[in-house]
């Protein structure tokens, strides 16, 4: 049992690669969606603090 | 930075920007997926087919309609972990193995229209669509049970036995749930069998799971 299984799709595609395991697509989508939200959160926090200061 | 307590969660701007990011990203992802799918659903040509026939496997997920000129197998692939359709040389289909791309496509089209007109999906499943009241037809062409039907209908080939059964299903009861007589003509039956033969050659990533594993793989392996 290997952690990363070999890519065996008939027609190779980026989404095929993301769909090789039960959680691979989910983890990818969460990374790409949630991480920028942390970034947005931080930016907004800084902005609110700055506005509160004035 | 000040120590003033601020709540980002109640801030409209945070939610607006997050929503914009998620909506925008998802839209781009869906457009990308749409184009990415084209490679998976594009049908191969007869030229591809002739090239593939020198080997064992199909290069396109959906082979050309001329696949009806070839003998289709279903072999377990260790690499992929499921059965994969294979090409095993030429095979006569209703006495011919030289159907042109146009002829074969017309036959398949007739079969497709027939399957829709007779509402096969009301009881059967085709490529994951339909019902499970009657057997799954995705790989029906490869079903070893047609050999029994050849004996029952006294036909020499699988396609003739299938066509005979489709025209007179009530004459050959095989199951406690009997297929009704759908007034399928001989021409329609030929089209339907071609349609089913082509469908069995579509690489469905092993769907339906475990189809004929015991019957086909073991029998073909022991025959080698």
Here the ipTM equals: 0.77
What does each C-alpha distance from B59 to A49, B76, B198 come to in angstroms?
A: 59, 17, 15
pLDDT of B165 reads 96
Q: Band of the pLDDT at B179, cuts 50, 70, 90?
A: very high
Token code pair at residue B209? 């799971």
CB contact under 8 A, B14 and A40: yes
Q: Is the peptide bond before B208 cis (omega within 30 degrees of 0)?
A: yes
A45 touches chain B (CB under 8 A): yes
As a whole number, the mean pLDDT across chain B is: 90
Whose CA is closest to B83, among B41, B142, B135? B142
**Residues B38 and A45: beta-carbon distance below 8 Å:** no
CB contact under 8 A, A11 and B205: no
| Cα of B82 to nearest chain A Cα, Å | 11
Mean pLDDT of B46-51: 93
Q: Tell me the chain B residues in contact with residue A46 when contact means C-beta distances shorter than 8 Å.
A: 1
Token code pair at residue B115? 């399957």
- Range of lowest pLDDT (B22-36, B102-116, B200-214): B200-214
A54 touches chain B (CB under 8 A): no
* Torsion of Cα atoms, A46 then A49 then A53 then B2, to 10°: -90
CB contact under 8 A, B40 and A6: no
Mean pLDDT of B16-27: 95
- Range of lowest pLDDT (B28-32, B34-38, B218-222): B218-222
Continuous segment of H or E residues that includes residue B86: strand B82-90
**B5, B20, B40, B44, best to mutate vs chain A, most A CBs in 10 Å:** B40
A6 touches chain B (CB under 8 A): yes
Percentage of the residues of chain B whose pLDDT score is greater than 90 = 76
- pTM exceeds 0.95: no
pLDDT of B222 reads 56
Residue written as token pair 């469905």: B204
Whose CA is closest to B188, among B114, B109, B112? B114
B16 touches chain A (CB under 8 A): no
Q: Band of the pLDDT at A52, cuts 50, 70, 90?
A: confident
What does each C-alpha distance from B204 to A23, B9, B207, B209 come to in angstroms?
A: 21, 46, 5, 10
Whose CA is closest to B72, among B126, B143, B166, B151? B143
pLDDT of B72 reads 96
Alpha helices in chain B (DSSP H): 12-41, 46-52, 101-117, 146-153, 158-167, 186-200, 218-223
B80 touches chain A (CB under 8 A): yes
């Amino acid at each position: 049992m290997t952690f990363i299984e070999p890519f065996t799709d008939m027609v190779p595609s980026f989404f095929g690669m993301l769909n090789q395991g039960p959680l691979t697509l989910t983890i990818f989508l969460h990374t790409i969606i949630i991480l920028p939200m942390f970034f947005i959160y931080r930016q907004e926090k800084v902005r609110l603090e700055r506005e509160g200061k004035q | 930075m000040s120590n003033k307590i601020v709540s980002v969660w109640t801030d409209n701007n945070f939610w607006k920007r997050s929503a914009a990011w998620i909506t925008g990203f998802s839209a781009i992802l869906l457009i990308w997926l749409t184009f990415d799918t084209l490679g998976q659903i594009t049908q191969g040509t007869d030229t591809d087919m002739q090239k593939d026939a020198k080997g064992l496997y199909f290069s396109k997920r959906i082979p050309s309609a001329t696949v009806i000129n070839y003998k289709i197998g279903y072999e377990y692939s260790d690499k992929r972990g499921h059965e994969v359709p294979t090409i095993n040389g030429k095979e006569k289909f209703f006495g011919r193995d030289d159907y042109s791309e146009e002829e074969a496509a017309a036959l398949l089209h007739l079969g497709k229209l027939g399957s829709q007109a007779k509402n096969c999906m009301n009881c059967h499943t085709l490529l994951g669509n339909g019902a499970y009241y009657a057997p799954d037809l995705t790989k029906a062409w490869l079903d070893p049970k047609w050999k029994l039907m050849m004996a029952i209908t006294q036909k020499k080939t699988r396609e003739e036995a299938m066509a005979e059964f489709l025209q007179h299903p009530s004459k050959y009861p095989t199951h406690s749930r009997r297929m009704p007589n759908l007034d399928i003509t001989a021409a329609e039956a030929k089209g339907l069998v071609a349609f089913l033969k082509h469908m069995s050659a579509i690489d469905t990533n092993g769907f339906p799971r475990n189809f004929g594993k015991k019957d086909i793989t073991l029998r073909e392996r022991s025959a080698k």
